[in-house]
Amino acid sequence: MDRPLNNRAWLLVLPVFGIVAFSAILPLMTVVNYSVQDTFGNNQFFWNGVGWFQELLDPSKELGGRFFDSLWRNLLFSAIILSIQVPLGIVVALSMPREGWTVALCLVLMALPLLIPWNVVGTIWQVFARGDIGLLGWTVNSLGIDYNYVSDPLDAWITIIVMDVWHWTSLVALLCYAGLKSIPDAYYQAARIDGASRWAVFRTIQLPKMRRVLLIAVLLRFMDSFMIYTEPFVLTGGGPGNATTFLSIDLVKLALGQFDLGKAAAMSLVYNLIILALCWVFYTVMTNVDAEKKEVEA
Amino acid sequence: MARITLDRLAHAYRSDPKGPQDYALKEVHHVWDQGGAYALLGPSGCGKTTLLNIISGLVRPTRGRILFDDRDVTDLPTEARNIAQVFQFPVVYDTMTVRENLAFPLKNRGVPREAAGRRVEEVAHMLDLTRVLDRKARNLTADMKQKISLGRGLVRPDVAAILFDEPLTVIDPHLKWQLRSTLKELHRSLDLTMIYVTHDQTEALTFADKVVVMHDGAVVQTGTPDELFARPAHTFVGHFIGSPGMNVLPCRVEGRTAYVEGEPISLALAYPSLPSAGRIELGIRPEFVSLQAKGQGLPVRVRRIDDIGRARIARVEMAGRPMAASVPENLAVDGDEASLVIDPRHVHIYADGHLVPGEAR
């Protein structure tokens, strides 16, 4: 079929180009500009070429060292978060009621943590976990366990992880619940007739049917935890020492604390590229799953 | 192998049923003979799926018992009954191959791998699935998937009855016919009881030896397709089976004559036992009413004539009542005035919807 070609249609796209240019491309170019220069203040800049990038990607340099430290720290954090929240979310979704008035109650309760602003979550847990006046911190301490998230790195990690699990597991659970709800009753009935055990029902029906939503949940939770800033910033400020300094916290320290604009710009570009690359991987995996589905229908 | 007896079954989805209106399934007493091909026919919401789910054990009846031969299975869970069920929408286990799908019920019941493998091959051969045994089940078309669901029932050596819940709903029309004949063949060769739920009279009448017609939660007639056609036990059966359905007209009976709006229609039998109160109706299938030229029978006004392929059906009005009649091949109708000739041997009289037997006195 021949479609009339009309190049004037491109004019309709111009406003979007304009908006994207001002909101994304120009700021990004500013960052690129900073990343190849050095400054000693006074709005004076000197050409530095790829110097910052070389320093950043070389772990033996001071800049590279702290960058890779934060990167590993952040990857470890994301891995722990995923390995707790995904199984926990599935379990929660499986144990939620499927009908009746309790469904609405459960959904509201589950959605509550998701509705709280992130810095408020940080503040809540900052107070909650304090040893002197916080309910959690005080209780743990009175049980005879030495717990202080301000001075002990392990305690700080545990607190942040528990906080994130509290904040975000509902998201995974709600997504899984939606996936479970979409399974027709006939599947469960067929499984009963086939004599399938509870575990077999989970393995052969529920898990495969949740695959799509689980991929989305993993993607969302990974990106979110990889870019986490507000809650640990409020709770620990990246401390004690650098124990909970994740990538974005480190970036802000570098850019606004030390005012090393060139280094910070180089770091944010590399950070951005890592996120883009990971997004691409997830996107490819997900579209492959879709393609398989298409083949099914064909 | 089993004969399935429904012993005064009734079911209400509410926990505190009060009147008959609360029952999705009113009292049913029925025996499904071993090896029979049955159809449960009725419009949506008539309780046929409820009845099916009670037999398979997915629903526990409010009252009554189910017996397999002489064993009471009312309280047995689905997996403990020797029943398989094929659902409206094909159920296959997405992650498994066709072979694994077919082996699944055997694996769950701890059948040794080798025996299971042999059985799967046999069943796949029966259903013509051998070619696709090692493909992922979810990559197949709806009719293949439906065969897989059926196959999961057939592999089990203990299965005595297979229940079908409108299994052809999502199948392409030209494949429906094929799948239905596969079912018939299997039924002939396997000595299995098959119960087939549908709202499509063609499916029911071509598949089943015996059709159970349900209406509003109750069984209104059980019989062979011929019986349902020739002697509908209820006006609903008359309406529902046949296209177009039976003409049902309110009437008054005196001796061997029925009067519809004052027009006399002669009857082959007499009905001395008709109740004096209640709704008396006359039923006659369009096949036994023929349209004739004006003045040869009951005067009618012709509304239109439909050509339904193998016959022509006239939509007429007799004393203001709409009726359908068959049009003889050589009859040319001009104008809208004509007459009807009714074959008295095929006229039935109904009291409050139920067939009243006549007497040849």
Lowest mean pLDDT among A12-16, A112-116, A266-270, B33-37: B33-37
Residues 6+ apart with CB under 8 A from B51: B6, B9, B11, B25, B28, B40, B214
Query: B25 or A16: whose pLDDT is higher?
Result: A16
Contacts of A105-113 with CB under 8 Å at 24 or more apart are A107/A174, A110/A170, A110/A173, A110/A174, A111/A170, A111/A174, A112/A170, A113/A166, A113/A167, A113/A168, A113/A170
How far apart, in whole angstroms, are the C-alpha atoms of residue B86 and residue B44? Answer: 18
Q: What is the structure's pLDDT at A298?
A: 46
Top pLDDT among A88 and A132 is at A88
B29-88 tens-digit pLDDT: 888 888 888 988 888 878 888 888 888 888 888 888 888 888 888 888 888 888 888 888
Q: Would you state the pLDDT for residue B317?
A: 87
Nearest-CA distance B79 → chain A (Å): 5
How large a percentage of chain B has pLDDT more than 70?
99
| Cβ-nearest to A195 among B58, B105, B139 | B105
A193:B104 CB<8 A? no
Q: Which residues of A touch B95 (CB under 8 A)?
A: 204, 208
The yes-or-no verdict on residue B261 having pLDDT over 90 is no
Does the distance separating the beta carbons of B93 and A208 come in below 8 Å? yes
Task: Read off the tokens for B132.
Answer: 């696709």
Q: What is the mean predicted confidence (pLDDT) over B290-319? A: 85
C-alpha atoms less than 13 angstroms from C-alpha of B160 in its C-beta half-sphere: 15
A197 and B CB contact within 8 Å:
yes
State the pLDDT at residue A166: 93
Instruction: Decide: helix, strand or coil at residue B200.
Output: coil
pLDDT at A90: 94
Among A93-102, A103-112, A283-292, B96-105, which stretch is predicted with the lowest mean pLDDT? A283-292
3-state DSSP call for residue B251? Answer: coil
Give first-to-last CA distance, chain A, whole Å. Answer: 23
- A294 has a pLDDT exceeding 60: no
What pLDDT band is residue B265 in, cutting at 50, 70 and 90? confident
Residue B192: the pLDDT is 85
Round to whole Å and give the CA distance between B352 and B277. 9
Nearest chain A residue to B55, by CA: A193
Taking a C-beta distance cutoff of 8 angstroms, is the pair B203, B39 a contact? yes
Pairing between β-strand A45-47 and β-strand B71-72 as defined by DSSP bridges: unpaired
**What's the confidence (pLDDT) of residue B3?**
83
Per the CB < 8 Å rule, is B152 touching A194? yes
* B299 beta partners: B339
Chain A interface, mutation test: which of B83, B85, B146, most A Cβ atoms within 10 Å? B85
A290 has a pLDDT exceeding 70: no
pLDDT at A292 over 70: no
Cis preceding linkage at A184, omega within 30: no
Cis peptide before B357 (omega within 30 of 0): no
Q: What is the largest CA-CA distance in chain B?
A: 79
Residue A1 has pLDDT above 60, yes or no: no
Residues of chain A contacting residue B136, judged by C-beta atoms under 8 Å apart: 296
Query: Which tens digits make up the pLDDT trace of B82-98?
Result: 888 888 888 888 888 88
DSSP-derived pairing of the beta strands B193-198 and B25-32:
unpaired
Mutate which of B91, B92, B146 to disrupt the A interface (most A C-beta within 10 Å)? B91
pLDDT (tens digit, 9 = 90+) per residue, B269-303? 888 888 877 888 889 998 898 888 887 888 888 88
Across the range B342-352, mean pLDDT stands at 88
pLDDT band at A81 (very low <50, low <70, confident <90, very high): very high
ipTM for the predicted complex comes to 0.77
Range B127-138 average pLDDT: 86
User: What b/e sequence results for A13-23 when a residue is b if at least 16 CB atoms lie within 10 Å of its CB, and e otherwise?
Assistant: eeeeeeeeeee
> From B150, which residue of chain A is nearest by alpha-carbon distance?
A190
Q: Report the gap between the CA of A206 and the closest CA in chain B (Å).
A: 10
Chain A 210-239, residues with CB within 8 Å of chain B CB atoms: none
Look at A193 and B85 and tell me if their CB atoms are within 8 Å.
Answer: yes
Whole-number average pLDDT of chain B: 85
* pLDDT tens figures, B137-156: 888 888 888 889 888 888 88
d(CA A9, CA A17): 13
Residue range A230-241: mean pLDDT, rounded: 84
- Report residue A194's pLDDT band, with 50, 70 and 90 as the boundaries: confident
Q: What is the distance between the terminal CA atoms of chain B, rounded to a whole angstrom?
A: 47
Give me the pLDDT at residue B361, please.
64
Mutate to test the interface with B, among A182, A183, A193 (most CBs of B within 10 A): A193
Q: What mean pLDDT do residues B95-122 have? A: 88
Please state the rounded mean pLDDT for residues A43-68. Answer: 82
